[in-house]
C-alpha cells in the first residue's frame, strides 16, 4: 500500500480505527544508497544511527563526535543494528564534511551546534537531517533556511510526528472539517527532572575536546554538571524545555490548525521547583501565541512535575467550533469528540506512545523510522520533506519567542509575514547571539 492509498483508506468516522504502518524495515532496498554521517552520537544520535543502519538504501558511513564515550555509543548502535561495514570515526565535523562520498548528515549535537553544523553541511553540498530546535535563536533558523535554498539541499527537522500516519490522518480530518473551525489549542509537557547542583570547576576530561564541543558559543570554563545533558538548562548552549520538548507539541498544533507566523507571544514562569543550583532556564513556563483574530495556542512546560493534564506527560488538544481533537501523549492515538464530549472517532496507532521508558525516543523505532525514511526518499526525489526547514523554523520560532518574552518580561509583538519582533529593542537583542571569534556561521 502506498502512502496516498494509505491516507485514503484509513479511518471511518464513528468507529474505532487501527492505522497500520506501510513497510519500512525489511522492504527491498532501492539501488540509490545514501551514505550518512552522524554528527553528535551521545544518546539521540546513537539512536538515529541504529535506525538509519536498518533502513533500505542507507548506510552510516561516518560517526562524528568530540567525546570518546559518545563515539563508542554510536559505533555500538550501528553494530547492533546489523550493519556489516564499520563507520569511519572523524572527530572534527569540518573534516567530515570534506569527504566526497558523504551524501547527508544527521545532526544530534547540543542545540548551539545545530544551525552552524547544518549551514556548513549545506555549503559542503550535503543534505541535512537536524534535530529540533533548528537553531539556538531565531536568526539561526533563518540562516539555515537560507543555506538550504541557496545550495539546493534537503533539510529536514526532527519533528517526527509530521511523519506519523495517524497524525497525518488527524491533519486531514481537521482539513475536512471534523471539528469545524479550529481556534484554540492547548499543549503540554511535564517531567520529573531533578536539580543539577552547583557545578565544580574541574579539569576537562581527557576523553573530551571541550573547545570543539563549544564551537560557535562564547567560551566558558569546564564544570562538572554540563556535559552530557544539563547543557539544556544553560542559555549559552541550550534553549530550555520550550525548544527541548515543547517544539513537538507546538509544531503539531500549528500544523494541524494550518497556522503560519504569530502576531503576539507571551510567557510567564521561572525556576520555581528547586533553588540554589545552576539551572538558568525556566522549569515552569506557560507560553501563549496569538495568530491575529484567527486562533491561539498555549503551551505548559513543567520540567520538575510529572503529573500532567489527562494523566499524560505530554500531549495536545485542539478545539474547534464543532468539536475537539484530543491527542494525549501527542499521538499516535487520537480521538475526535463533539462539543458534548461524545467520541465520534477513536484512532489507534501501531506503535508505542510516549509512555515508553525510552528517553531518547518516546515514540519508538517504527515511528521514528517513518520520518527518517521520508528524509531519504526526499533526497532521492521521490517525496517531499514532511518537516522541511521552512516549517521547522516557523515552529521553533514560537519557542524562541516564548523564551525571549520570558527573559525580557515583555509581551512580544511580531510581524505576521515573517515572525520578526516589532518595536522592542531589548527583545530584539535576543533575536541572535554573540559568537566565539571566528566561529560565526556564514551562509
Segment holding 348, helix H or strand E: strand 343-348
| pLDDT at residue 263, rounded to an integer | 98
DSSP state letter for 223: B
Task: Give the pLDDT confidence score for residue 362 in this predicted structure.
Answer: 66
* Residue 366 contacts residue 135 (beta carbons within 8 Å): no
Instruction: Check pLDDT > 80 for residue 157.
Output: yes
Which pLDDT score is estimated for 311? 86
pLDDT of 16 reads: 57
Residues for the chain: how many in total? 443
What was the pLDDT predicted at 355?
41
What pLDDT is stored for residue 175 in this prediction? 98
Structural domains of the chain in order of their starting residue, each with its CATH number: 21-161 (3.40.50.720), 166-199+209-356+390-428 (3.30.360.10)
**84-100 in b/e burial notation, b at 16+ Cβ within 10 A?**
eeebebbeebeebbebe
| Cβ atoms of residues 40 and 228 within 8 Å | no
Q: Give one word for 171, left, alpha or beta, with left for phi > 0 and alpha for psi -120 to 50.
A: alpha
Residue 379 clears pLDDT 70, i.e. is over it: yes
Supply the pLDDT for residue 310: 86
pLDDT at position 358 is 56
- Per-residue buried b or exposed e for 308-320, using 16+ beta carbons within 10 Å of the residue's own CB: bbeebbbbbbbbb
Grid cell in block for residue 436: 566565539
Identify the helix (H) or strand (E) that includes residue 346: strand 343-348
Q: Which of 174, 432, 169, 189 is nearest to 287 (CA)?
A: 189
Rounded to 5 degrees, φ, ψ at 87 are -65, 150
Range with lowest mean pLDDT among 9-13, 230-234, 361-365, 382-386: 9-13
Q: State phi, psi for 326 to the nearest 5 degrees.
A: -115, 125
Three-state secondary structure call for residue 232: helix
Q: How confident is the model at residue 4 (pLDDT cuts 50, 70, 90)?
A: very low
State the pLDDT confidence band at 2, using cuts at 50, 70 and 90.
very low
% of the chain with per-residue pLDDT over 90: 88
pTM of the model: 0.93
- Write out the three cell numbers for 411: 509581551
> What pLDDT is attached to residue 360?
72
User: 207-222 pLDDT, tens per residue?
Assistant: 999 999 999 999 999 9
pLDDT score for 354: 41
Largest CA distance in the chain: 62
Helices (H), 124-266: 138-150, 165-175, 210-214, 240-241, 247-257
Average pLDDT of span 92-103? 98
* Higher pLDDT pick, 274 / 16: 274
pLDDT over threshold 80, residue 98: yes
Average pLDDT, rounded, for the chain: 92
Lowest average pLDDT, out of 2-16, 206-220, 319-333, goes to 2-16
What span, in angstroms and rounded, lies between the C-alpha atoms of 325 and 242? 23
Amino acid at each position: 500500500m502506498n502512502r496516498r492509498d494509505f491516507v485514503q483508506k484509513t479511518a471511518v468516522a464513528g468507529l474505532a480505527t487501527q492505522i497500520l504502518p506501510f513497510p519500512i524495515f525489511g522492504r527491498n532496498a532501492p539501488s540509490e544508497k545514501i551514505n550518512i554521517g552522524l554528527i553528535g552520537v551521545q544518546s539521540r544520535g546513537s539512536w538515529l544511527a541504529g535506525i538509519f543502519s536498518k533502513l533500505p538504501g542507507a548506510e552510516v558511513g561516518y560517526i562524528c563526535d568530540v567525546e570518546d564515550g559518545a563515539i563508542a555509543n554510536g559505533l555500538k548502535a550501528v553494530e547492533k543494528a546489523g550493519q556489516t561495514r564499520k563507520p569511519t570515526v572523524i572527530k572534527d565535523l569540518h573534516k567530515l564534511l570534506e569527504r566526497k562520498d558523504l551524501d547527508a548528515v544527521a545532526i544530534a549535537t547540543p542545540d548551539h551546534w545545530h544551525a552552524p553544523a547544518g549551514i556548513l553541511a549545506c555549503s559542503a553540498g550535503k543534505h541535512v537531517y537536524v534535530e529540533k530546535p533548528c537553531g539556538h535563536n531565531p536568526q539561526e533558523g533563518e540562516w539555515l533556511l537560507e543555506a538550504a535554498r541557496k545550495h539546493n539541499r534537503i533539510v529536514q527537522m526532527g519533528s517526527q510526528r509530521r511523519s506519523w500516519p495517524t497524525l497525518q490522518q488527524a491533519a486531514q480530518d481537521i482539513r475536512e472539517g471534523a471539528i469545524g473551525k479550529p481556534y484554540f489549542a492547548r499543549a503540554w509537557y511535564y517531567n520529573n527532572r531533578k536539580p543539577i547542583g552547583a557545578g565544580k570547576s574541574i579539569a576537562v576530561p581527557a576523553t573530551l575536546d571541550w573547545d570543539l564541543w563549544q564551537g560557535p558559543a562564547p567560551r566558558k570554563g569546564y564544570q562538572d554538571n554540563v556535559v552530557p545533558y544539563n547543557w539544556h538548562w544553560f542559555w549559552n548552549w541550550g534553549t530550555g524545555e520550550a525548544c527541548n520538548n515543547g517544539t513537538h507539541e507546538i509544531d503539531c498544533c500549528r500544523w494541524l490548525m494550518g497556522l503560519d507566523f504569530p502576531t503576539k507571544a507571551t510567557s510567564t514562569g521561572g525556576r520555581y521547583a528547586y533553588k540554589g543550583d545552576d539551572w538558568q532556564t525556566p522549569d515552569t513556563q506557560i507560553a501563549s501565541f496569538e495568530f491575529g483574530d484567527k486562533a491561539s495556542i498555549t503551551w505548559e512546560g513543567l520540567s520538575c512535575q510529572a503529573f500532567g493534564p489527562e494523566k499524560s506527560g505530554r500531549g495536545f488538544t485542539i478545539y474547534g467550533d464543532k468539536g475537539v481533537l484530543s491527542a494525549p501523549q501527542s499521538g499516535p492515538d487520537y480521538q475526535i469528540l463533539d462539543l458534548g464530549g461524545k467520541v465520534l472517532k477513536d484512532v489507534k496507532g501501531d506503535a508505542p506512545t510516549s509512555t515508553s521508558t525510552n528517553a531518547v525516543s518516546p515514540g519508538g523505532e517504527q515511528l521514528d523510522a517513518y520520518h527518517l525514511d521520508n528524509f531519504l526518499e526526499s533526497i532521492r526525489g521521490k517525496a517531499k520533506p514532511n518537516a522541511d526547514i521552512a516549517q521547522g523554523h516557523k515552529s521553533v520560532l514560537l519557542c524562541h519567542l516564548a523564551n525571549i518574552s520570558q527573559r525580557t518580561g515583555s509581551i512580544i509583538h511580531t510581524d505576521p509575514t515573517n515572525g520578526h519582533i516589532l518595536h522592542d529593542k531589548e527583545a530584539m537583542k535576543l533575536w541572535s547571539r554573540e559568537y566565539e571569534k571566528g566561529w560565526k556561521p556564514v551562509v
